[in-house]
């Protein structure tokens, strides 16, 4: 079945919802999301959203903190624009009904501090900031009659002009996004969506790793869809590991926010000794990459399964008041954080690389846009500053909507092309009788990424991982063409490709920088210009970051 709307949005986190809401002023919207509409990384964000709100803060300070964290790879124009436009976008969220926590008895917002920030500038809604934002945006989207939500519909592949027109090379300047195949998970039917523009807002890829703070939806789908469509993917080697996830067999992805350290929490070894002062002058508030590597090193040295985050020296009632959700969840696992240090370990948390976009969310393919965690705009560089990601999604989705609204004149040529789009053809695919293969491959990829492509890497481990992932990709391809598709198989296909892109990025970067640490090149290479690793189709190169630059294989 074909579904024609003016605009197609894939993903219902902050980036997708913000864009849908804004572009709905200009036409009809299909909002496609592979789970319940609320399910996203956004809903789990605890810490908050970084924005210059305080009188003692400034755009320049926020910009320099972001650039410092990004270790030479941030694009200053992008950082400046996102930081400068952030406060206006945050005020829009407030106007829509987002209730950020206020200071007691005062008419001001309570601002918290996280690692790498020189000022208190994180707006939060207790420790459930993401849910408060997600709730507000969903309410606003539901109130728009021209936004149709398609829950439990999974985007499979972008359909481009090069798919139907042999004169157009995939990923070339002439190529454009015409539609999207999406699986209705309830009925098994594959729909063909068409629109004047498509926004990818599919979030991150934490599920590529065995241990992650991310929800199950974070399987790198947008990266894989964009890559298969010929879009350029940049800096995939920079995967942020959050230093402090609760260590407990049942709490597989429960994060202890960095704000806990911001409010005075101290990291300790099992014997009670502190260690962060050996690694960074900011101690426990050092940037995340430094903290995660320090914990990894200390755990490997001692052989312990975890380290501990201690807030027992702080006033218990204040801790409970400031972190009600963390307190409640920890208690449900048997830990009273006000009385005992919490066992914590690092886990994969945030994908800094992604689909290359300009400041309007435009990819190198016409009509294809990306915003939020799926994209690489140049804001984060080699390491994301805490709480800058919600900010990026908010600003970029606003800018993308402004840009896309300029495309609103209907084009007969586009409609004619879209009429030619073939409907999904299942070919000879049959029901799978080997689902065990899928779960086995899932597990193998996540384990090998954790063991060989994790916090500390080496060329030998990376080459080993690459060989294995290439074999798995072949197997998955065979499986994909032989059996009827399910969400599980589609996600497996996407995590395998995302894993390959992370490994390729890591092998291209012959230095250690920010989140990428390779024992064979333990220092940053500052003797050459610092470049992005960019992959498009089968070409891989280090280049100066810009969506306009062309890649030669």
Active site residues: 288
Contacts of ligand FAD in 371-390 (CB under 6 A): 372-374, 387, 389-390
Bin 430: left if φ > 0, else alpha if -120 < ψ < 50, else beta: beta
Contacts of ligand FAD in 72-131 (CB under 6 A): 129-130
Binding status of residue 446 toward ligand FAD by CB under 6 A: no
Which residue, 276 or 396, is less far from ligand FAD as judged by CB?
396
> CA-to-CA distance for 236 and 62, rounded, in angstroms?
24
Bin 27: left if φ > 0, else alpha if -120 < ψ < 50, else beta: left
Binding status of residue 47 toward ligand FAD by CB under 6 A: yes
Binding status of residue 11 toward ligand FAD by CB under 6 A: yes
Binding status of residue 244 toward ligand FAD by CB under 6 A: no
At which residue do the structure tokens 């497996």 appear?
492
- Distant-in-sequence, close-in-space partners of 229: CB < 8 Å, separation ≥ 6: 157, 158, 160, 170, 171, 177, 365, 368
Q: Give the x/- contact pattern for ligand FAD in 191-230, rule: CB under 6 A.
A: ----------xxx---------xx--x---x---------
Strand pairing class (177-184; 190-194)? antiparallel
CB of 161 to ligand FAD, least distance (A): 21
> CA-to-CA distance for 326 and 271, rounded, in angstroms?
24
For ligand FAD, which residue of 154, 178, 385, 445 counts as binding (CB under 6 A)?
Answer: 154
Strand pairing class (29-32; 233-234)? unpaired
- Element containing residue 403 per DSSP (H, E): helix 388-405
Binding status of residue 398 toward ligand FAD by CB under 6 A: no
For ligand FAD, which residue of 27, 48, 287, 361 counts as binding (CB under 6 A)?
Answer: 48
Inter-helix orientation angle 435-452/487-508, to 10°: 20
Binding status of residue 399 toward ligand FAD by CB under 6 A: no
Which residue, 258 or 298, is less far from ligand FAD as judged by CB?
258
DSSP, collapsed to helix, strand or coil, labels residue 465 as: helix
CB 161 within 8 A of CB 420: no
Size of the site for ligand FAD (CB under 6 A): 41
CB of 422 to ligand FAD, least distance (A): 20
- Element containing residue 50 per DSSP (H, E): strand 49-50
For ligand FAD, which residue of 34, 161, 446, 461 counts as binding (CB under 6 A)?
Answer: 34
Which residue, 328 or 467, is less far from ligand FAD as judged by CB?
328
Binding status of residue 42 toward ligand FAD by CB under 6 A: yes
Interface with ligand FAD by CB under 6 A: which residues?
10-16, 32-35, 39-42, 44-49, 129-130, 154-155, 201-203, 213-214, 217, 221, 255, 350, 372-374, 387, 389-390, 393
């Amino acid at each position: 079945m074909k579904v024609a709307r003016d605009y197609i949005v894939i993903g219902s986190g902050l980036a997708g919802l913000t864009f849908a809401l804004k572009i709905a002023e200009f036409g009809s919207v299909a909002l496609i999301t592979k789970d319940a509409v609320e399910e996203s990384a956004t809903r789990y964000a605890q810490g908050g959203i970084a924005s210059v709100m305080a009188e003692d803060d400034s755009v320049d300070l926020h910009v320099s903190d972001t650039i410092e964290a990004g270790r030479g790879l941030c694009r200053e124009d992008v950082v400046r624009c996102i930081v400068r436009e952030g406060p206006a976008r945050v005020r829009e969220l407030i106007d829509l009904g987002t209730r950020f926590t206020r200071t007691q008895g005062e008419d001001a917002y309570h601002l918290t501090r996280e690692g790498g920030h020189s000022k208190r500038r994180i707006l939060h809604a207790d420790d459930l900031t993401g849910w408060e934002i997600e709730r507000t945006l969903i309410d606003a989207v539901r109130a728009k009659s021209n936004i149709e939500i398609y829950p439990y519909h999974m985007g499979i592949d972008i359909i481009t002009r090069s798919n139907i027109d042999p004169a157009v090379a995939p990923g070339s300047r002439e190529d454009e996004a015409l539609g999207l195949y999406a699986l209705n998970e309830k009925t098994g039917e594959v729909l063909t969506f068409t629109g004047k523009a498509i926004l990818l807002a599919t979030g991150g890829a934490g599920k590529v790793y065995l241990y992650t703070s991310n929800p199950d939806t974070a399987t790198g789908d947008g990266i894989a869809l964009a890559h298969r469509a010929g879009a350029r993917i940049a800096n995939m080697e920079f995967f942020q590991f959050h230093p402090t996830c609760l260590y407990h067999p049942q709490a597989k992805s429960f994060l202890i926010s960095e704000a806990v350290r911001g409010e005075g929490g101290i990291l300790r070894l099992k014997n009670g000794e502190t260690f962060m002062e050996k690694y960074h002058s900011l101690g426990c508030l050092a940037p995340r990459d430094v903290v995660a590597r320090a914990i990894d090193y200390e755990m490997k040295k001692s052989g312990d399964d975890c380290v501990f985050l201690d807030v027992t020296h702080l006033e218990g009632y204040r801790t409970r008041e400031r972190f009600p959700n963390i307190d409640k969840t920890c208690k449900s696992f048997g830990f009273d954080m006000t009385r005992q240090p919490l066992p914590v370990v690092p886990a994969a948390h945030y994908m800094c690389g992604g689909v290359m976009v300009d400041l309007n969310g435009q990819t190198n393919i016409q009509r294809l846009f990306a915003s939020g965690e799926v994209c690489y705009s140049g804001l984060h560089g080699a390491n994301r500053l805490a709480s800058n990601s919600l900010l990026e999604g908010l600003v970029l989705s606003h800018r993308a909507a402004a840009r896309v609204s300029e495309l609103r004149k209907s084009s007969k040529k586009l409609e004619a092309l879209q009429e030619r789009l073939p409907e999904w053809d299942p070919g000879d695919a049959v029901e799978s009788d080997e689902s065990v293969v899928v779960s086995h491959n899932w597990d193998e990829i996540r384990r090998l990424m954790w063991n060989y492509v994790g916090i500390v890497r080496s060329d030998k481990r990376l080459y080993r991982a690459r060989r294995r992932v290439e074999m798995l990709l072949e197997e998955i391809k065979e499986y994909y063409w032989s059996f009827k598709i399910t969400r599980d198989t589609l996600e497996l296909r996407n995590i395998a490709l995302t894993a390959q892109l992370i490994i390729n990025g890591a092998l291209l970067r012959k230095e250690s920088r920010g989140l990428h640490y390779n024992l064979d090149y333990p220092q940053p290479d500052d003797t050459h210009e610092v470049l992005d690793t960019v992959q498009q189709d089968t070409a891989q190169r280090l280049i100066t970051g810009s969506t306009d630059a062309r890649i030669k294989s």
